[in-house]
Amino acid sequence: MKKLIAGNWKMNGSVELACAVAAKLQENPSAGDNADILICPPSIYVSLIDSNVLLGAQDCSEHESGAYTGEISPSMIKDAGCSYVILGHSERRQYHGESSDLVARKASAANKSGLISIVCIGETLEQREAGRAQEVVGEQLAQSLPEGASSQNTVVAYEPVWAIGTGKTANSADVAEMHSFIRSELDGKVAGYNDVRILYGGSMKPANARELLATPNVDGGLIGGASLDAQQFIEIALAAGDN
């Protein structure tokens, strides 16, 4: 399966960075030969990334339109040229109180508008140390995926919370075990479960990307910090092509 290399800028970046990244990607068209490259900047910058990469948002409303000040609907995101939306990132679960049920409703609305939902799940360090990582991830997965989720409209991102932005990466044996568990949990629940891309996220960078992306059932990466540096992001995309 072709890998998906997705950059999650979070609430970072500027007009200058958006233009610099777009220029860098134009200069390196071969980076996209062996991997699909996706950038999810703050939505207001989407139209500035004038490149042949895929674009996505970092969240969407569960509603289609109406009096929801500050919200952006899936169809608006689609209209602006995006094909993906990240949903249920641990920062939204933690700082915005998003539940898995809400994530499922947002994913359902996103899929109905023709967007591909990147549904994020992952355990905290406390949960891992208590031996509950699989239980937590399995529960989040079951509750966050909407009815009708399929390999065509859904990507799953496994992001252990303790590895996000910390420089700590899960070792490839633990990643392999969790990704194989996630694949088996998708079996019977999601159409085309074997073709659902399962991304790893959490301090992925050029130095560890090759090994992580070569791990069984790792079909790409969701990259935060390193996606803010166009050169590092391209190196990760090139590493995906080596697998």
Write out the residues near ligand PGA by the rule CB under 6 A: 8, 159, 164-165, 201-204, 222-226
Question: What letter represents residue 183's amino acid?
Answer: R
Query: Could you tell me if 39 and 9 are in contact, meaning their C-beta atoms sit under 8 angstroms apart?
Result: yes
d(CA 144, CA 138): 10
- The angle that helices 230-241 and 206-213 make with each other, rounded to 10 degrees, is 20
Residue closer to ligand PGA by CB (options 60, 204) is: 204
Q: Which residue is nearest to ligand PGA (CB)?
A: 224
Catalytic annotation, pick one of 89, 123, 179, 235: 89
N residues, the chain: 243
What region, left, alpha or beta, does residue 236 occupy, with left being phi > 0 and alpha being psi -120 to 50 degrees?
alpha
Q: How far apart are CA 213 and CA 217, in angstroms?
A: 9
Contacts of 68 (CB under 8 A, 6+ apart): 61
Q: Are 87 and 57 in contact (CB under 8 A)?
A: no
Min dist CB 128 to ligand PGA, Å, is 16
Catalytic (active site) residue 89: yes
Nearest approach in angstroms of CB 86 to ligand PGA is: 8
Catalytic residue among 91, 159, 185, 235: 159
* Least Cβ distance, residue 56 to ligand PGA (angstroms): 12
- With respect to ligand PGA, which residue has the nearer C-beta, 75 or 179? 179
Annotated catalytic residue 147: no
Q: Which is nearer to ligand PGA, 75 or 82 (CB)?
A: 82
Shortest CB 204 distance to ligand PGA, Å: 6
CA 168 to chain centre: 18
Q: How far apart are CA 182 and CA 120, in angstroms?
A: 12
Tell me whether residue 25 or residue 121 sits nearer to ligand PGA (CB atom).
Answer: 121
Minimum CB–partner distance for residue 165 and ligand PGA (Å): 4
Nearer to ligand PGA, 97 or 167 (CB): 167
Mapped onto helix, strand or coil, the DSSP state of residue 86 is strand
Q: What positions carry a catalytic annotation?
A: 89, 159
